[in-house]
Amino acid sequence: MHKPTTNATSKQSLPRRHRRRSALKQAFDPQRSGQRQNATLATSATNGASATNASTSTSLRQHLAKELADILGTPHTIPIPRWVTPKHYSYTYSEIFGHASFILVAASYAVDDFVWLRIIAVAGSASMLVFTYFHPHGRVLWLPFQWNCLFIAINSYRIGRVYYDRYLADVLSPELKLARERHFSFMEKEDFGKLARIAHVETYRKGDLVAEENQPNDKVRVVLSGELNVMRDGALTYVLDEGNFIAESGLHAGLMLKGSVDSCCSVEAETDVQVISWDRTELVDLLEREDHLRRSLKATLSWDVVRKLKSQRVMLASGRIQDPGHWTHLRNEQGEHRYAAILKNLLASHHIAERKRELLKYRTVHHIDDEHHREALKACGWTEEEFEAGHKKGEDLHFAKKQHHGPDHWIRQYVRRVFG
> pLDDT tens for residues 301-341?
888 888 888 888 888 888 888 888 899 898 889 999 999 99
Q: Exposed, middle or buried, 286 (CB in 10 Å: 0-12/13-18/19+)? A: middle
Strands (E), 58-104: 76-77, 90-91
User: Max alpha carbon distance in the chain (Å)?
Assistant: 144
Confidence bin at 349 (pLDDT 50/70/90): confident
Our measurement of the distance from residue 176's CA atom to the centroid of its chain's CA atoms, rounded to an integer in Å, reads: 23
Question: 182 and 175 in contact (C-beta within 8 Å)?
Answer: no
Q: What is the pLDDT of residue 60?
A: 80
Identify the residue with better confidence: 77 or 117. 117
Closest CA relative to residue 225, chosen from 252, 247, 210, 204: 204
> What's the whole-number mean pLDDT along residues 278-290?
92
Q: What is the pLDDT of residue 9?
A: 42
Q: What is the pLDDT of residue 157?
A: 93
Q: Exposed, middle or buried, 417 (CB in 10 Å: 0-12/13-18/19+)? A: exposed
Helix/strand/coil for 278: strand
> What's the whole-number mean pLDDT along residues 69-93?
78
Confidence bin at 20 (pLDDT 50/70/90): very low
Number of residues in the chain: 420
Confidence bin at 75 (pLDDT 50/70/90): confident
pLDDT digits (tens, 9 = 90+) for 214-270: 999 999 999 999 999 999 998 999 899 999 999 988 888 888 899 999 999 999 999
Q: Is pLDDT above 70 for 410?
A: no
The residues spanned by each domain of the chain are: 90-169, 201-389
Helix/strand/coil for 230: strand
Q: What is the pLDDT of residue 416?
A: 63
* % of the chain with per-residue pLDDT over 70: 81
Q: What is the mean pLDDT of the chain?
A: 81
Look up the CATH number of domain 201-389.
Answer: 2.60.120.10
